[in-house]
Amino acid sequence: MNNEREAFDEQSGLVISDITGEAGNGVFDEGFVSEGDLAQAIDGFTPLPGRTRKDILPRFSIELSPGTVRLTKKAPTKGQPRDGYKPRSIIVEWSRKSRAAMTLRLGTLDYRPLFLRGRLPAMITLTYPGDWLTVAPDAATAQRHLNALRKRYEYQFGEPLIGLWKREHQRSGSPHFHLFAAPPSGRSFAIWLSKAWADIVAHPDPNERAKHERAGTGIDYATGIRASDPRRVATYFSKHNSANFGVKEYQNRPPQQWIDAGSVGRFWGYWGIKPLVLTVEISDNDALFVARVLRRWSKANSQSRSRLVPRGAKSNGEMKFRRVSRRRGRFLNGLGFAIVGDGSAMGEALARALRSRISDER
């Protein structure tokens, strides 16, 4: 396993490794998992040696996708809300729950349709003029601009725009969009994109519009090429497991003008790609074992983060704090998900560890 961080779980004998798919042989999408790969991994759990249907209460399941391994519990009876359920409301902020939901979904997507045309992927940036409130007074207007660009692309090139998008904000509140797609290469596309985006935003001031057409878009193929597996795509968009986590969190804070106008809208989405998830039920004991292994794997492959912890009280009663560097815990309650580079490889490794554990019990 070249260039991979490894840890060893002495209890299971499983090598816990930072598994990442790499592009090779000139075919970029080789780093992305197919449904056949996941099906083969799922077969490793069904049936586990030494386990019968009576041993498996239909309560826990393992979900494998191209970039995630998730341990879930059976949903409540139809008509009964799940624990912690809250009714849907208008969107007014970006929360930890929002980040987790986006990271999980980005890890489950099948990205292979994005590369069917054999092009290199790119990170596209769409920004607004300095006087952005004139053309984007609320989130709904900005979303209409993005949707209009998607329609213009399809009309111009005769194909749908496939990929991901994420909205962020500068400190001033000005919005911008990041797109992960595989567009046509060459200067002609860059010129078309600059003009089309400026026409869609359509600032009424001719000078502002001209400046926006010159500097309102960017195409970064280097960053797009580095997103060679689902884990790296999710890390880029969510900053999960990255060294600068939290440094640019202000980019997820919408401007007060948008909040006052109502919902700040969706922060992310995807076009032309779908989730690919396969599920298998496992017993309570096996679920506990899998959770422990994934907890160790997550800890071995996570970045340390600085945080303040209580140290005690001063003589005047004020609480003292100290700054420490710690890794974030996962699967602490036995449930959760891990972002991986190759969900099928991780599933096969977990199945082997479970089979080894079961054979040791007999």
Res 216: pLDDT: 94
Helix-strand-coil split of the chain, %, nearest 5: 40, 20, 40
User: Cα angle vertex 334, ends 328, 335, to 5°?
Assistant: 85
What does the block give as tokens for 271?
Answer: 């076009």
Task: Give SS3 for 115.
Answer: helix
Q: How far is CA 38 from CA 34, 45, 230, in A?
A: 7, 12, 14
Res 20: pLDDT: 34
Q: Taking the domain 108-271, which CATH number applies?
A: 3.30.70
Res 244: pLDDT: 46
Radius of gyration, CA atoms only, the chain: 23
In which element (H, E) is residue 354 found?
A: helix 343-361
Q: How many residues does the chain have?
A: 362
Q: Single out the residue of 57, 54, 51, 56 nearest to residue 362, CA to CA.
A: 51
Res 87: pLDDT: 55
Sequential DSSP letters for 292-349: HHHHHHHHHTSPEEEEEEEEEE-TTSPEEEEEEEEEPP-STTS-EEEE-S-HHHHHHH
Q: Return the HEC string of 187-202.
A: HHHHHHHHHHHHHHHC
pLDDT (tens, 9 = 90+) of the chain, 362 residues, equals 333 333 334 333 333 333 333 333 334 555 678 888 888 888 888 777 666 655 666 688 999 999 999 999 876 666 565 555 555 566 667 788 888 899 999 999 999 999 888 899 999 999 999 999 999 999 999 999 999 999 999 999 999 999 999 999 998 999 999 999 999 988 999 999 999 999 999 999 999 999 999 999 999 999 888 888 888 888 888 864 444 445 567 788 889 899 888 888 889 999 999 999 999 888 888 888 999 999 888 888 776 666 677 777 776 777 777 777 666 667 777 788 998 889 999 999 999 998 888 777 66
Res 168: pLDDT: 93
Residue 355 has, within 13 A of its CA and on its CB side, a CA count of 13
Q: How far is CA 282 from CA 42, 203, 228, 347, 354, in A?
A: 11, 57, 31, 13, 10
Task: Give SS3 for 137.
Answer: coil
Res 121: pLDDT: 92
Res 91: pLDDT: 67
Tell me the backbone φ, ψ of residue 134, rounded to 5 degrees.
Answer: -65, -35
**Is 173:257 a contact under the CB 8 Å cutoff?**
yes
Q: How far is CA 54 from CA 97, 131, 311, 316, in A?
A: 36, 66, 50, 62
Report the b/e string of 214-230 with b at 16+ CB within 10 A: eebbbbebebbeebbbb
Which pTM does this prediction carry? 0.79
Domain ranges (residues) in the chain: 6-90+277-361, 108-271
In 10 A of CB 77, how many CB atoms?
6
Sequential DSSP letters for 210-250: HHHHHHSEEEEHHHHHH--SHHHHHHHHH-TT-TTTTTTGG
Res 75: pLDDT: 65
CA distance 264 to 90: 8
Q: How far is CA 82 from CA 58, 77, 180, in A?
A: 16, 9, 34
